[in-house]
Structure 1
Amino acid sequence: MTASDVTLHHFRFQALGSPCQLHLYGEPARVRSLADACERWVRAFERTYSRFCSDSLLSQLNAAAGTDWLCDAQTAALIHYGDTLWHQSDGLFDLTAGALARCWDFRSGRLPDPDRLAAAKALCGWEKVRWESPALRLPEGAALDFGGIGKEYAVDAVANQCREAGVMHGLVDFGGDIAVIGPHPNGAPWKIGIRHPRAPQKPILHLSLGEGAIATSGDYERFMEVDGRRYCHILNPKTGYPPNYWASMTVIAGSCLIAGSLATVGMLREAGAGPWLDETGLPWLGIRTDLSQRGPLADQSSR
């Protein structure tokens, strides 16, 4: 291993609604070229699946609700995972919650119109979707939303690109959703801060991770407060409203996709999250709105 291979390089850009960071060890020109290629891939992924872009593939797919749509391999993989998670979460994770997202404007400081929200909730329900991969048929008016799995999928994809390019030591961090490419060259794990849900610029604790992935879902990224209650962007498809039990949920898993989606389901399961997450056998940390901690990682300053 040469001296340049043990030099850590940092690359930053904004995408997927989050600050994105690549921390890569390697020869400067090689990792710079790799980071540029990863950024281009992420931006293309965002253009493909953004619900805010009228010409994105996702917007076109949603506009075609009521008709059959043949999915490409990547879209089919995302939908297949969402379908699996819907079954495993008792319907709490639902890709059709996109109809609800249209009702909520967290910059307005106002709750959605109840009649509009009820109409949107009636459009939700993965059981109403016809999915025979690669063929998809959404009910008229329904809308898919890959929130909860899209960014996490991208983290894993970028980490894999880096490994395939020969990077053995590094870390991918998209807004706190993290995949470890490999530990530091000396074998030391990465020290990862878990955000304080009421002071997100500082960590509430640190965990050490030499492999795998970690992701956090919380009520502090996009939210508003109305009459003293916090409403966050995570929406329960069965009620149309955000959960109000956990301030944040963190899960460690072999992939960021699994970690992030289980963290989101944990938020949605509210008081029932603990037993459900314990069944997965994965380490997790739940922080209540009163900042008390639950789970195997609770009150640990290192790992």
Structure 2
Amino acid sequence: MVEGIYSVVFIAMGSRCEIRIAAANSETAQCLAARAIDEVRRIENKYSRYRSDSVVSRINAAAGRHAVECDRETIALLAYADTLHKASEGRFDITSGVLRKAWNFRDGVLPAPETLAALLPLVGWGTVARKQTSVFLPQPGMELDFGGFGKEYAVDRAAEALAETGITHAYVNLGGDMRFLGPRPDGSAWDIGIQDPRALETTVASIPVRRGALATSGDYERFIEVGGKRYCHVLDPRSGMPVSYWRSVSVLAPLAITAGSCTTTAMLLEEEGLDFLERSGMSYLAVDHQGQIFRRTL
């Protein structure tokens, strides 16, 4: 059977998403992609902080009051968050999402120092009480936010849903976080362009990928400029202020959740991020604040 490559586009997690898949025709591609899209929707509904009935919202609503029982999937994600916190020397902190209350990247205004000062005591993964089946945020007003790896987790789950049906020539792309199930039908790699963080219509490199995952974090995704200085959405949990050393970091890894976690951790570690990327053992391409490119290809 002759197969073509079809694109199934949908919106999820506030992003334009796409599944590119080898199939006999467009209708078949839509049917094959449906199971993966359902899995993305499931994860978004379960962990979105924008839904009052999500697991994350229930945990946050109980802050300072009582522990919340969690299922196995949620407990595993919390354990992963703990691993990231340790690997990043405390910079990757899923309680730091509360700082978004101080930052408005639409109006172009810096938060007042007293606003940040009031929120910083609510940041502290180390104070969160976790048991085998429950989690407790000790202070009223504390929040968990899975935004640092939730989308990448959904990418992996969607890709696994496709793989379970025997698909071997496809990739999942949720807003730039990607997982590849195999090469194109002719065996060639997918060529993925890495966006120039200062000229968004151009690329700084093209990376051939046959299998695995690719994720990018950058200071161009959400930011404001005040007094000629760029303030991006990646916030240091210690100060509440944006990081500024890297313009973008891209990582190739076996899983999207690993690739995305590495890019964000490198951004948060600033000058120390390059050493972290080297120790990770994975391929990467990073652009620093001066536009210098660092890369390692395995």
Instruction: State whether TM-score is above 0.5.
Output: yes
For residues 170-218 of structure 1, the C-alpha deviation after alignment (integer angstroms, 9 at most, x for no partner) is: 1111111110011112211110100111122332210101111110000
Per the alignment, residue 62 of structure 1 pairs with 60
- Aligned partners of 2:205 and 2:283: how far apart in 1? 15
* 2:290 paired with 1:287: no
Aligned mate of 1:15, from 4, 9, 12: 12
Q: Which consecutive residues of structure 2, in runs of 5 or more, have no partner in the other structure?
A: none
State the one-letter code of the partner of 2:61. Answer: A
Q: Is the 8 A contact 2:120 2:238 kept in 1?
A: yes
Shift, 1:269, TM fit? 0.6
Shift, 1:149, TM fit? 0.3
Shift, 1:14, TM fit? 1.4
Q: Is the 8 A contact 2:59 2:136 kept in 1?
A: no
- Aligned partners of 1:244 and 1:44: how far apart in 2? 34
4+ residue runs over 6 A deviation: none
Per the alignment, residue 101 of structure 1 pairs with 100
For residues 3-38 of structure 1, the C-alpha deviation after alignment (integer angstroms, 9 at most, x for no partner) is: 1xx211110011112110100112334431122232
Per the alignment, residue 46 of structure 1 pairs with 44
- Aligned partners of 2:220 and 2:85: how far apart in 1? 24
State the one-letter code of the partner of 1:227. Answer: G
State the one-letter code of the partner of 2:14. Answer: G
Per the alignment, residue 72 of structure 2 pairs with 73
Q: Is the 8 A contact 1:178 1:215 kept in 2?
A: yes
Q: Is the 8 A contact 2:21 2:29 kept in 1?
A: yes
Per the alignment, residue 300 of structure 1 pairs with none
Per the alignment, residue 226 of structure 1 pairs with 226
Question: Residues 1-303 of structure 1 correspond to what in structure 2 (within 5 A)?
Answer: 2-3=1-2, 6-28=3-25, 29-66=27-64, 67-140=66-139, 141-297=141-297
Q: Is the 8 A contact 1:49 1:58 kept in 2?
A: yes
For residues 223-271 of structure 1, the C-alpha deviation after alignment (integer angstroms, 9 at most, x for no partner) is: 1111111111111111111100100001111101000011000001111
Shift, 1:277, TM fit? 1.4
Q: Is the 8 A contact 1:156 1:255 kept in 2?
A: yes
State the one-letter code of the partner of 1:48. Answer: K
Shift, 1:44, TM fit? 2.9
- Aligned partners of 2:295 and 2:120: how far apart in 1? 32
State the one-letter code of the partner of 2:52. Answer: S
* DSSP-derived class of the 2:146 partner: coil
Identity across the alignment (%): 42
- Aligned partners of 1:56 and 1:76: how far apart in 2? 15
Q: Which consecutive residues of structure 1, in runs of 5 or more, have no partner in the other structure?
A: 298-302
Q: Is the 8 A contact 2:63 2:137 kept in 1?
A: yes
- Aligned partners of 1:295 and 1:264: how far apart in 2? 16
Q: Is the 8 A contact 2:36 2:159 kept in 1?
A: no
- Count of residue pairs brought into register by the alignment: 295
- Aligned partners of 1:47 and 1:203: how far apart in 2? 34
Q: Is the 8 A contact 1:26 1:167 kept in 2?
A: no
- Aligned partners of 2:177 and 2:169: how far apart in 1? 17
Q: Is the 8 A contact 2:40 2:157 kept in 1?
A: no
Q: Is the 8 A contact 1:51 1:58 kept in 2?
A: yes
Shift, 1:94, TM fit? 0.5
* DSSP-derived class of the 1:25 partner: strand
Question: Scaled by the length of structure 2, what TM-score is found?
Answer: 0.95
- Aligned partners of 1:47 and 1:14: how far apart in 2? 13
* DSSP-derived class of the 1:76 partner: helix
- Aligned partners of 2:40 and 2:225: how far apart in 1? 32
Shift, 1:75, TM fit? 1.6
